[in-house]
Amino acid sequence: MRKDRIKKILVEHGAADHNLTSSVLKRLDNLPVENIIPDFPGQRHDFQDMDKETLRLIKFKGEVLKPCPGTRGYICCGYQILHVGTNCPLDCSYCILQAYFNQPSLRIFVNLEDELIRIGQIIDSHPDKIFRIGTGEFTDSLALDHVAGWSDILPHFFTARKNAVLELKTKTERIEGLLTSQYRDRIIVSWSLNSPYIVSKEEHGAPSIKKRLLAAKRCQAEGFTLGFHFDPMIQHPEWKEDYMRTIEMIDRFIDPKGIIWISLGCLRYMPALKSIIRRRHPGTHILDGEFVRGLDGKMRYFKPIRMEIYSFIGEVIKKWYNDPGLYLCMESDEIWHKSLGWSPENTDGLSLYLDKRVIEFFG
Amino acid sequence: MDDIWHILRDGPILLNIDDIKEKPGPYTISFGFDLRPLVRSIREFGLINAPIVTRGEDGCMDIVAGYRRIMALRSLRWKKVPCIDLSDSGLEPLELLLFNLHDNISTRRFNDVEKGMVLNRLIPFIPGKEIREHYMPLLDISNTMNLDILIRLEELDTQIKESIADGTLSLNATRLILDMDNRSRTAIFKWISNVKLNFNHQIQFIEYSTDISIKEEKSISELLDEEQISRLLEDKRTNNPQKAKHVLDLLRSRRSPFLTRSEKTFKKNISGLNLPQGVRIQHPPFFESPEYRLEILFRDGKELKEKIDSLAQIDRLKKVGDPWQEDS
């Protein structure tokens, strides 16, 4: 993986007094630190590289726990996002976060521990509801763990709750913090996977599939439950053979019985992201496919193409293991039926399906 | 600013026109104008307001205000020009620039190229925040995103800038061609200007061309020079709207062959059903939603029933569905 390139730390006003700030500054005590006033709303930045060499420590004032936004017309998994930071040191050409160029730098929210008290109250006041919570929506869950120390803070919070699970979604092999933690219950470590071709061409700075799976293997051996996400799947020359190689590698390294779910999702993007991708990654071919405007306004592969991809990959995975907890991310009832042969019908149905998986795995 | 009033009161001096620089220089902000009315006016009534100049670092005179007047006088072959000379006014370059800016802004609107010229001249002196907060509203620039585009317009060829200035090439289309190599940009612009593509078509044309060029790993100029495409432009039997439709259809089918094939198959299948007059079956946009649409136009219940009865007789209606099923 690309070496850490953090060259300076900016501590925003209001962030200095938090424990998390002190621990980050201690871990990176060789770097210059500057105290700054927070950006005003709408402040413009012109960082072509997203300024990934700067780490900002921020007291986040927005909602720290919020439902995955989902989109109109498609079935959502009903997952909740724990907003621990934004941006990550990797530089995947398809990354949605490139569109938020008014929020540059690697950003860690240092008031997480205070917010967890409030989140704990929310979770505990709904004992009949299962909270599937993840941190991997706006950042990679583990890429900055060695800096932020999330694995010191989060696992014991979730292990203590019987109606919640934490999913740490990553492309990295930064599992040291997790492995040293004593908590395993109700923690899912999941890896974003792709074809080796896409990994090498488009996931800049991310470890190879083999390295990710070796890290997953280690986590599995250490008692963690695993998840995998084939998202975004991208058509490319010999994509079928190439995605099969990844699945063959999973077979080599991972015991399928320890996988709680595997999700599939094809590349989709907000129209405004296209010009940003073209500018930041001029050589990329990820936009070559036939994209159409979806019901939610995002660009997606033409429907029969998506169905072919899902049917093929779904079939290969099910042949490998018959109970992989397979689901589609943000797809329609029709695509579910025509690709996987069944459908949860709506977001509630998919949530129920995934909640059942949680109960099967964690009780 | 007291000095300037003193100089203005002293009145103009006569300068050789050849001592005044022809290029716009650091203060003037005029582009894409029609010089003819001014030439006519000067020919008829003479020069009413003296241009304002200042001596540049190279010893020649830079125009501060009155660039168009000097150009008109050149075309009228005046040898001497009455000018107000601010060389000894003590005014800083930024003050001279602002002097001209406010002189212009009080009497006219700037086109986009001129807005870019203003920004380029201000940027060395004014912090970005002040430009956004003060000068953007002054120049009637509503979107911060456009700043980057406007300041780069001066890089473009004169012909392209003229199209931007006269409003025939959209700023959104310009944004898409700015980073292209010169040949590709020229090839795109040739189509846009010759066929007079409207703003939507400009964007579609550029996006299709860019996507195909990347996908097929060939330059845009190579793509648009292909015989199949270039002959559409030369076709004397078609007018501009037809040319626009033909080229966009061609590029779209090349960009998205599966989708366009599916649309064509669907259309062919529906036309083969011989639906009653006033009855239409449409597929959802891009076939994304699973539902097709049946539309029946009728004048009264009797006609509606006749059309429904007639529809019920068409056995092949059962086959209406996703066209790619037939492909596979």
Domain layout of chain A by residue ranges: 64-362
Contact between residue A192 and residue A171 where contact means Cβ atoms under 8 Å apart: yes
Which has the higher per-residue pLDDT, A49 or A85? A85
Residue B143: predicted pLDDT? 84
pLDDT, tens digit, 9 for 90 and up, residues B190-200: 999 999 999 99
- Our CA-based measurement puts residue A101 at a distance from the nearest CA of chain B, in whole angstroms, of 11
Half-sphere exposure of A185 (CA within 13 A, CB side): 12
Q: How far apart are CA B56 and CA B48, in angstroms?
A: 25
Residue A179 forms contact with B (CB below 8 Å): no
The pLDDT score that the predictor gives to residue B289 is 96
Say how many CB pairs under 8 Å bridge A and B: 51
Which candidate, A133, A122, A185, places its Cα nearest to that of A159? A185
- The reply to whether residue B289 touches residue A304, judged by beta carbons under 8 angstroms, is no
**Which chain A residue's Cα is nearest to B145?**
A44
Mean pLDDT score across all residues of chain B: 93
* A290/B210 CB distance under 8 A: no
Smallest Cβ–Cβ distance between B259 and the set A44, A73, A302 belongs to A302
pLDDT at A3 over 50: no
Q: Is A290's CB within 8 Å of B259's CB?
A: yes
User: What whole-number percentage of chain B has pLDDT above 90?
Assistant: 84
pLDDT in tens, A181-207: 999 999 999 999 999 999 999 999 999
Is residue B1's pLDDT more than 70? no
The answer to whether the Cβ–Cβ distance between B262 and A304 falls below 8 Å is: yes
8 A C-beta contact, residue B266 and residue B283: yes
Q: Is the pLDDT of residue A263 over 90?
A: yes
For residue A300, the chain B residues in CB contact (below 8 A) are 288
pLDDT at B90: 86
**Planar angle of CA A239, A245, A246, nearest 5 degrees:** 95
Instruction: Read off the pLDDT of residues B166-182 as tens digits, 9 standing for 90 and up.
Output: 999 999 999 999 989 99
**What distance in Å separates the CA atoms of residue A354 and residue A351, rounded to the nearest whole number?**
5
Residue-level pLDDT at A48 = 63
Which of A190-199, A323-332, B9-18, B208-217 bottoms out in mean pLDDT, i.e. has the lowest?
A: B9-18
CB contact under 8 A, B210 and A302: no
Compare A219 and B129 and report the one with higher pLDDT.
A219
* CB–CB contact A295 B290 (8 Å): no
Specify the pLDDT at position A100.
77
Query: Is the Cβ of A293 closer than 8 Å to some Cβ of chain B?
Result: yes
Q: Which of A303, A309, A335 to mutate to test the interface with B (most CBs of B within 10 A)?
A: A303
ipTM value, please give it.
0.91
What does each C-alpha distance from B123 to B105, B126, B130, B132 come to in angstroms?
Answer: 18, 5, 10, 11
Q: Quick one: DSSP state of residue A75?
A: B
Q: How crowded is residue A14: how many other Cβ atoms within 10 Å of its Cβ?
A: 16
Q: For testing the chain B interface, which of A37, A39, A43, A44 should be mutated: the one with the most B CBs within 10 Å?
A: A44
Contact A303 B214 (CB under 8 A): no
In this model, does residue B219 exceed pLDDT 60? yes
Q: Given A44, A73, A290, which is nearest B258 (Cβ)?
A: A290
Residue written as token pair 């424990």: A19
Kindly determine whether residue B289 and residue A295, on different chains, have CB atoms separated by under 8 Å.
yes
Instruction: Please judge whether B258 and A305 are an interchain contact, meaning their C-beta atoms are less than 8 angstroms apart.
Output: yes
pLDDT digits (tens, 9 = 90+) for A297-307: 999 999 999 99
Q: Give pLDDT, residue A43.
A: 54
Per-residue confidence at B187, pLDDT binned at 50, 70, 90? very high
Any CB–CB contact under 8 A between A162 and chain B? no
Q: Do A190 and A178 touch, CB atoms closer than 8 A? A: no
pLDDT at A115 over 80: yes
* Domain A64-362 architecture: Alpha-Beta Horseshoe (3.80)
